[in-house]
Amino acid sequence: MTKHLDTNILVIGGGATGTAVAWDASLRGFKVVLVERRDLTQGTTGRFHGLLHSGGRYAVKDPHGARECIQENRILRRTHAHCIEDTGGFFVVTPEDEGDYPDRFKAACDEIGIPCAEIPVREALRREPLLNPRLSRVFEVPDGSADSFLAAHATADAARRAGAQILTYHEVTNLIVDNQRVVGAQVYNVATGETFAIHAAMTVNAAGAWTGKIAAMAGIEVLILPSKGTMIAVNHRVVNTVINRCKLPADGDILVPSHTVAVIGTTSVEVADPEPLRIETWEVEKMLAEGNKLVPGLSQMRILRAWAGVRPLFQETYTGGGRDVTRKLALLDHEAREGVAGFLTITGGKWTTFRLMAEAAVDKVCEKLEVKRPCRTADTPVPGAEQGHYWLGHRLHEVEEQHLQSELICECELVTRAMLENAVKRNPTLTLDDLRRDVRLGKGPCQGGFCTYRAVGILHEMAQAGAYRPDADAWDAAFLQSPGKNREPLSVNRDRNTDYSLPNTAPPSPNLLLRDFLQERWKGIAPILWGKQLRQERLDELIYLSLMNADHLPDAELTSPSSDFYHYDATPQEDANA
C-alpha cells in the first residue's frame, strides 16, 4: 500500500507566510500539514534586511501597501514582540534628496495614519552621531528591526502547539490533480529518500519566489516577477535606528540595525530564476557608495558579507521594473481563475504583512470549505512574546550573570554550548546552516572561523551519545499509514548504489557538516573580500586548510541538502578602498 497522509489543509512553503498560514488554520481548528523543501526561512524570509515596515517607504507610491504595513506593524509588536527590536526609524533628507518629496511624504503618512513627526536635525545627530551632518530634514516613524528567523520558528511553534505538523526537508515533487481539483501533493523526504502522498481538502501555495514553479505542477501559470535584492552587513551597529532616505525607493537607501551588525540595502534586479543568484561587483560598490551618503565613511568600515534574496512580486499583466510593482498581497483563487479547485496561492506582500497574508488565505479556505471560523492570530501571541521587545544585551547579560564565558562556542554572537545543544534537540538539523538560522552561529566577524569546528565536535559527541537524532521530529515516518522500514542515508546526494552502512537515524558526517558550512560562509564573503575581512579569511584558511586539511577529509566529495543560492567570482574583486 502506498504511504500517504490525510489532512484538511496542506501548506507548501516554510517561510513567514507559510508558517503563518499553518498557525492561523490550526487555531481555526483545521488539521494542517506544512511542507518545506529545506529548513524554515531558507528562502526569501531569511534573506532580507530585517526591516519591520512602518509603511513610510511606500506611503507616496503605494498607499494601499503602506496601510497594510502600519496595520501589521502594530499587531506584530504584540503577537511577536520578542522578535522585534523597537529601534524607531528616521527618514532623512540628504543633499542629494532635495525637492518636494519630503513634503509629499509627510502628507502621505498623515493621510494613511502613519505616525510621522519632523524632528530637528540636531536631535537626530545627537541620537545617531555617525549620520551625515549635512542632512537638511529628518522625519521620525515607527520602523523597527525584525528577526525573521526567530519569528518563523515562533510561528511554527505556535502552529505545532495548535496541532499542525511542520515537515522540513520535505520537497513537493508534484501536485496531485483529480478531475480539475488539486487533492494533495507527492512529497520527497530529503532526509530518507522516501516519497509519499499527502492528501488534502485544500492546498495553499505559499512558496514565495518558487510560487510559479509549484503552480505549474497543476498546469497553472502564475507569473512571478523575481526581483533580486543584494544586501551587505557591516561588522558593528553603525546606527541604532533604522535609517531611510526620504525619496522614492531606490538602491542602497536603507540602513537597518540588526542584532550586532548593520545592514545596508538593497538592489532591485529582475532575475529569471530565484536560485542560484550572482552577487555582482557593481551591486557591492553601489551599496557602499550609497551607504556613504547616510553614514560618511561607511565603505571604509569592516564589511562582513553580502547576500541576496528574491522578492516574489506579483501583478497581473505587469511588464515594468520591480520597483514599480505594488507590495500589497495577492491571493489567487485558482478555481475562479483557471477552473482548478482545491488550490490557492498567496504571494506578494512584505515580511511585515505575513500575518495578514495568512489571514486572507485562510479566510478563503473557510469560504471554499463552507465553514465560518474567525481569524484569531491578531490577538494571539506566539510563544515567547511575553518576554517583550528584543533587547540587544540579553545574551551578554546571561553570560555574565551565569558565568558562562567558558561555555561559549561562538564568541562573536555569544552562542553557548547549551544554546547549541538545545537548538539541535528542538529543531531538525541536517546542516550547521540550520543552526546559523536558529542561534546565529557563525554570523559574526570570524564568519565561522572559530566556532565551526567546535560546533561539529559537539554534534559528533551528541550523536555518539545518542542525543542527536535529526530525523526524530522532522521526518519520523510514524504518522504515515504504512511506515517504511528501509531508509536511505541522510546525505541524499551520495551514490545510491553504494552501501555507506549508516543507521537510519545517523546524522550527516562531521566532516561533511564542517566542509559545507565553511563553503556556505565563503559564498557571502567572496564578493567583499578585502581589508580586515580578507585577513580574517586568510586566518580561517590557515586553520581549516593548512592545519585541519579540511578539503581532503573523508566525505570531501559529498554534499549536504543545503541550497546553492549564489554564484560568485572565482577571484576576489579588487580592494574597494584602493
Per-domain residue ranges of the chain? 4-44+149-224+327-379, 51-146+226-309, 393-567
Contact by Cβ (8 Å): 554, 511:
yes
Which is nearest to 352 in space by CA: 68, 105, 19, 116? Answer: 68
**Domain at 4-44+149-224+327-379, CATH homologous superfamily:** FAD/NAD(P)-binding domain (3.50.50.60)
What pLDDT score was predicted for residue 498?
27
Question: Residue 134 CB: number of other CB atoms within 10 A?
Answer: 12
Which is nearest to 430 in space by CA: 562, 239, 241, 255? Answer: 562
What pLDDT score was predicted for residue 558?
60
**Does residue 276 have a cis peptide bond before it, meaning omega lies within 30 degrees of 0?**
yes
522614492: which residue's cell?
248
User: Hey, what's the cell of 367?
Assistant: 469560504
CA–CA separation, 122 and 104 (whole Å):
23
Question: Residue 275 CB: number of other CB atoms within 10 A?
Answer: 16
Tell me, what DSSP letter sits at residue 80? T
CA–CA separation, 118 and 246 (whole Å):
12
CA–CA separation, 167 and 169 (whole Å):
7
CA–CA separation, 411 and 451 (whole Å):
8
What pLDDT score was predicted for residue 494?
26
532623512: which residue's cell?
92
CA–CA separation, 156 and 426 (whole Å):
12
What pLDDT score was predicted for residue 420?
94
What pLDDT score was predicted for residue 464?
85
CA–CA separation, 168 and 434 (whole Å):
11
CA–CA separation, 395 and 519 (whole Å):
27
What pLDDT score was predicted for residue 329?
85
What pLDDT score was predicted for residue 425?
84
Stretches where the chain sits below pLDDT 70 are: 1-2, 315-327, 428, 468-507, 555-578
Contact by Cβ (8 Å): 435, 151:
no
Position 208, amino acid: G
pTM as predicted: 0.89
Q: Burial-class residue 252 by CB neighbours within 10 Å (0-12, 13-18, 19+).
A: buried
H helix runs in 465-554, sequence order: 510-525, 531-541
Question: Residue 503 CB: number of other CB atoms within 10 A?
Answer: 9
**Does residue 429 have a cis peptide bond before it, meaning omega lies within 30 degrees of 0?**
no
Tell me, what DSSP letter sits at residue 237? -
**CATH fold match for the domains 4-44+149-224+327-379 and 51-146+226-309:** no
Position 257, amino acid: P
Query: 288: alpha, beta or left, given left = phi > 0 and alpha = psi -120 to 50?
Result: alpha
Query: 65: alpha, beta or left, given left = phi > 0 and alpha = psi -120 to 50?
Result: alpha
Say which CATH class 51-146+226-309 falls into: alpha beta
